[in-house]
Amino acid sequence: MKNRSICLLLILAVFSISCKENKEAQRVEHSDHSVSKIIVERGAFHNDTFVLQDSIVEFVPSDNAIIEEFPQYTVASQTRISQKEHDMLFKQIIDKGFFELRDAYKSPTSDNSFLKVTVDYKGRKKSVQSEDFKRNCPEVLKFIENEIVRLHGKNLKRQLLPG
């Protein structure tokens, strides 16, 4: 009888520990989503920023944005995206090799518009800057910029001014 009681106590203890570990693993997995973040910084006349944090895409205009032809680029705005859109974007970023890129891409020309992308996902954080988004810029950076702009939904695509 005493052996049965000891066995039963051991089984309950193992079961209790197992349940606690499963709950902890679920909490860690969930918290991974809460730290996902993408920052897209654009140069040239834009000098603006898009931030995707969790399910919110935020547009942050430049403080000195004086663009009369494009007033929509001077107003901060936010959009909520679905968890599916969030997960698909991060999957594509990883599949396209963002975390394997160099930190900087130089340009031999002087009339540049830089693009800087920072991705923070599941404990991995990396910033990549291209001096010129048109020349010598990795395709994955352009992809991230275009996807963030698309998900934001306000059609704030990069504008190219003459000159």
Task: Give pLDDT tens digits for 105-162.
Answer: 998 877 788 899 999 999 999 999 999 888 889 999 999 999 999 999 998 888 765 5
What is this structure's pTM? 0.76
Q: What backbone phi and psi angles, to 5 degrees, belong to 99?
A: -70, -10
Task: Give pLDDT tens digits for 42-92.
Answer: 987 678 999 999 999 999 998 765 566 777 888 899 999 999 999 999 999
**What confidence score (pLDDT) does residue 66 get?**
54
One domain for residues 19 and 69: no
Cβ atoms 135, 107 nearer than 8 A: yes
* Count of structural domains, the chain: 2
Task: Report the distance separating Cα 4 and Cα 17, nearest Å.
Answer: 20
One domain for residues 144 and 130: yes
One domain for residues 81 and 7: no
Banded pLDDT at 16 (limits 50, 70, 90): low
Which structure tokens are listed for 115?
């693009």
| 31 or 111, higher pLDDT | 111
**What confidence score (pLDDT) does residue 28 get?**
39
Nearest to 103 by CA among 118, 114, 90: 118
Residue 25 domain boundaries: 1-34
Q: Would 162 be classed as within a structural domain?
A: no
One domain for residues 104 and 123: yes
